[in-house]
Structures are given as structure tokens and as C-alpha cells.
Amino acid sequence: MADLWGGRFENGTDKGAFEFNASIRFDKRLYKEDIEGSLAHVGMLKKTGIIEDSDAEKIIEGLKSIYQDIESGNLIIDDSHEDIHSFVEAELIKRVGDPGKKLHTGRSRNDQVALDMKLYAREAVREIDRNILELQKVLFELMEANLGTYMPGFTHLQKAQPVTLAHHLGAYFEMLMRDRGRLRDLKSRMDSCPLGSGALAGTTFALDRQMTARDLHFTLGPTRNSMDSVSDRDYLLELMGALSIIMMHLSRFSEEIIIWNSNEYGFVDIDDGFSTGSSIMPQKKNPDIAELVRGKTGRVYGDLISLLTTMKGIPLAYDKDMQEDKEAAFDAIDTVSDCLKLFAGMMSTIRFNKAVMERSARRGFTNATDAADYLVEKGVPFRDAHRIIGSLVLKCEKEGKTLDELGLDEWRKESDRFESDIYDAISMEACVERRQTIGAPGMKPMREVMEYYRKYLKEPA
């Protein structure tokens, strides 16, 4: 530590204070971004003549060798340094000598770490977007295979109206589309480069910040306010907010899979590879992956709340509190990435019990609305039709029947408008196929939306 900033200190740092202050235990994962940013910085220092060409070349060679050695495992990042920035710089000086001491010219750890986190978050957005896309591809294949698989749709966890499995899965496909849209949106706001902002007030050196931003592929160029540049963590908060919504969607999906997997429903069989058993009950096959995804949602929410709470009282510009951004952000990114991958694997191997699902729809009176619509088409006012079908449902419940198990005479006792074609009108196929509006589960609108999804999946990420 003293090698970087100890000039005005007479005594060394307390060991406990050093360990409490140090971040290398978790920020060492930023080594790639730290070296990438340093290479861009020294390249700019060379071009602008701020440091000599010969020194710049030695620094560049040294940084590249450090990266290669870390990647190969020949160089281990230990905890004797305060952070990844001091580790890389100390290792560089060890390798190239005095020229390495010039790397930090015109730069502070404040703008350095701001850059590293932006680079890391930018790549995390790309990776999570790819993971969502892979899950969407799995869902699309399931939808294609189940356009004619009938099942009950629910409101209030009560059977409501018949839909298809394709239509039900399509709701989650849409949620994931919005998730990807949020990631693209926040990526556009994190696309400016903070490097060159210094500690908070820029620098007296004639840096070419446009060059640095361009070399690091920031399309919006350099940030416009040096104080905001080093203290901004909005992009992490936005990312963690988007990750929280992704987890909320996965949690809702997990909840349904867990319910469907229960003996009472029996809609799905989860593959052995994504289930576990019981240490005492030999018959058990538990949906642990779905349950863990549901459980880890709260963890990601906690990461977001943690950083929001940290940031709420910090005055401009940089304060050490902001070191707390990393563990929360890393944890949220890792958790969501793992959940997306495992969820895609679970869904790609899951088996749907189609006959059970259709039987459940029939026995749940999901065709009652269509029976009421049948009467309306025969000239009965809807409110009267609603009452008539309600009475028939009550009768069926008492007798343990479904509507399609009623005899025609039983129908006609309630209304003489019923004819033998009532049975065709309340079949699962008819109930679904009569719904032809945009967004409905009928075959025609579903094929149209599937074509839209097919084109969407082929678009460049």
C-alpha cells in the first residue's frame, strides 16, 4: 500500500484496518478490465507525447505479459495488495522497472475503477442477454411442439378458460423479450467512458479522452462531468434493477413449474438431472432447481437494495462507501447468469403430460364462458346466460360431472335455446379456436406470433 500512496504517512496501516479496507479479495476478477483500460490509457499517453515511446512500449509489453500469465495460471493474484489496481501496477513495476511508474500519469484509481466496472458491466449485459436468448430458443421449440396442447388457464389460481401450452409459454417469452429490451436500453446509458476524469476534477495533462473512449469502444465518447464520472453508479443500479425483474420472471415461472410438478397437478415431469431426492423418503423427487431459482430471487433483490442504500447518502464525488458496489453487483450478475442457464437446461428436458393437462381443463369448467357465449349467440342476454351456466356448473359440482357430461335434456331444463351443437361449442378445441383476436390462443393468431418470434430470434444480439 505504501508504495502507492504512503508519502504523507509516518506510520503503517493497522493490519485489521488494511484487511477491512482492501478489496482485492473480490475485485481481482476485474484484472482483464483493469489491464484493458491501462493499455488504452498508455497508448493515449504515448500518442499525445505525455510519456516517451520507449517507456510506453515497455509498459504495454509488461501489461500484456501480466495478462497472459494470469490467464495461464502462472501468476496468482494474492491478497497482499489493497486492490487489483495496485496489484497490476506493482507487478508491472517489478517487470519493467521505472517506466512502469509512469502508467498512472493523468489517472486516479477513482476513474480507473469507474472504467473497470463499466467494462465489466458492459460484458455482463452481453452475457446475460445471450443467456436469455438461449432460454427463449428453448421456449420457442416447446411452443412449436405444443400449439395444440390444451390446458387450463388460471386467474386467482382458479381454473378460468382453456388455453394452449404454447400460449402459456408465450407469456414468458414476452417477459424475456422485455428483459432483453431493458438490457439494451441501459447499455445505451452506460456507453460513455469515465477514464481521464481523474480523482474528481480532471487532470492538468493534455489527455486525448476521445481517443481513449474510441479505443475502448464507448460509442458516446468520454463522460461530460468529471465529478459525476467517478461517483456514478446508476448504470449498476439499472443493471441490478433489470436483473431483479429477470429473476422475478424466472421466479413466477418456477412457481408454476413447482405447482405443475406436484402430485395434485401432474402436468410435468422434471428430468432427473434437475431434481433431487429425499434422505429419508425414498419416493420423493423434488423440483430443487426451480425452488432455488425462486429462492435466489430474494438474494438478487437484496443486492439491489444494498447498493441503493449505500448510494443514497453519498456526497460528491468519490467516497470509499462505493467500494461496496462490487460484491453486490458481482453476486447479482453471477446469480442471474447461473439461474438462466440452469432454467434453460431444466426446460429443455422437461416432459409435459398433455393428456393430464387437457383433462384438467375439461374438469375445471374452463368451457363455462363459451357455454354462456353460445346462449348469447342464440339471443339470450349475457347476464341471463351467465346465470344459467352458473346454475349448470353448480349442478355438475354436486353430481361430480363436467359440462360435456350433461345430457341434452339437462341442458334444456335450464334453457330451450340449447341444441345438440352445444357439445361442439364447448369442446376444448372449439373454446380455443374461436379465440382469433391478436394475442389470443387460437391457432391462426398463434402461428402469426410464432412467425414474429422466429424472426426475432434471428435478429443480431
Instruction: Catalogue all structural domains in the chain, each as residue range(s) with its CATH number.
Output: 2-105 (1.10.275.10), 111-147+164-199+219-358 (1.20.200.10), 362-458 (1.10.40.30)
CA dist 187 and 376 (Å) reads 52
Give the phi and the psi of residue 32 in degrees, each rounded to 5: -65, -50
Neighbours of 51 (CB within 10 A): 19
Q: Is 14 helix (H, G, I), strand (E, B) or coil?
A: coil
**b/e code 143-158 from CB counts within 10 Å (16+ = b):** beebbbbbbbbbeeee
Q: Per-residue pLDDT tens for 403-459?
A: 999 999 999 999 999 999 999 999 999 999 999 999 999 999 999 999 999 999 999
For residue 7, the model assigns a pLDDT of 65
Using 50, 70 and 90 to split pLDDT, how confident is the model at 8?
Answer: low
251 belongs to the catalytic site = no
Catalytic residue among 72, 156, 279, 420: 156
Predicted TM-score of the model (pTM): 0.93
Q: Per-residue pLDDT averaged across 103-117, rounded? A: 97
User: Which residue among 54, 80, 278, 391 is the active-site one?
Assistant: 278
Q: What is the structure's pLDDT at 3?
A: 56
C-alpha to C-alpha distance for 202 and 214, rounded to whole angstroms: 18
Please determine, for residue 5, whether its predicted confidence score (pLDDT) is greater than 70: no
The answer, yes or no, to whether the previous bond of 56 is cis (omega within 30 of 0) is: no
Active site residue 156: yes
pLDDT score recorded for residue 284: 87
Backbone Cα Rg of the chain = 30
